[in-house]
Structure 1
């Protein structure tokens, strides 16, 4: 009976890319990107509202809401957009990191500490499995996050242009 090369992998379990993917998928924060559209939009909207609540007192100190309502709203929107952008970028970079680890033909790992890094070439069946995970599971997540960041950038650019023409 032939022993699978996946079983003789010297990489510690917590550093194997497929296990990093599973851990990311089950994480309370990074799981947001895997939710269905309705729940994803709800989470993003909640973060935007929290960002608005954080940035609106700062905006109110600069622009009185009763005297300068439009600058107050625009500044609050830009602040909320910045908070949301930071959250979305954290999501994107986390998923992108795991995607890169899965796509590579070798696994970089540390045996006992930061000073003794090793690389291990993935066997063909592991490389195929990992690249299928990237293609069918992670690429749609990265696409969704890219589109969301793009839409947020457009909205913030619109706010900024409106700000310039006040």
Structure 2
């Protein structure tokens, strides 16, 4: 019986891209992007509300809500949007990193530390499996994160335009 080339992979288990994908998919933070749409938007709303509560005291110190309600709301929205943008960027870059590792024909790995990196060419069946994971699992996640970030950017740009018109 022929031994599969996947079984003789010299890359440590925790550094194999498919295992990095599974770990990311199961992590508390990064699995947000894999949630059903209503749950995903609920998480996004909660982060935005928390961001609003963090930034509204700063906005209130700059623009009193009693005297300038619109400026206070706009500045609080921009601050909350900035915090949400950081969260979305972290999600995007985490998933993008794993996607890149899965797409590559070789795996870069470290045997015992940062000073002795090696590369290992993926066998065709592993490369095919990894690229299917990217196509059917990760690309939709990256698309969702890109669209969400784009909508947030439009909202923040709208707030900025209103701010400039005041």
Q: TM-score range by the shorter chain?
A: over 0.9
The 3-state SS of whatever aligns with 1:86 is helix
The alignment's C-alpha RMSD in Å is 0.2
Residue aligning to 2:138: 138
Q: TM-score, length-normalised on structure 2?
A: 1.00
The number of residues matched between the two structures is: 166
Find the aligned partners of 1:136 and 1:83 in 2 and give their Cα distance: 30
Residue aligning to 1:12: 12
Q: CA deviation at 1:101?
A: 0.1
Residue aligning to 2:106: 106
Residue aligning to 2:85: 85
* Paired residues for 1:54-69 under 5 Å: 54-69=54-69
Q: CA deviation at 1:32?
A: 0.1
Per-residue CA distance 1:22-65 (angstroms, 9 max, x = gap)? 00000000000000000000000000000000000000000000
Find the aligned partners of 1:2 and 1:158 in 2 and give their Cα distance: 62
Residue aligning to 2:45: 45
Find the aligned partners of 1:2 and 1:25 in 2 and give their Cα distance: 32
Residue aligning to 1:23: 23
Find the aligned partners of 1:32 and 1:95 in 2 and give their Cα distance: 11
- In the alignment, structure 2 segments of 5+ residues that lack a partner are none
Residue aligning to 2:126: 126
The 3-state SS of whatever aligns with 1:67 is coil
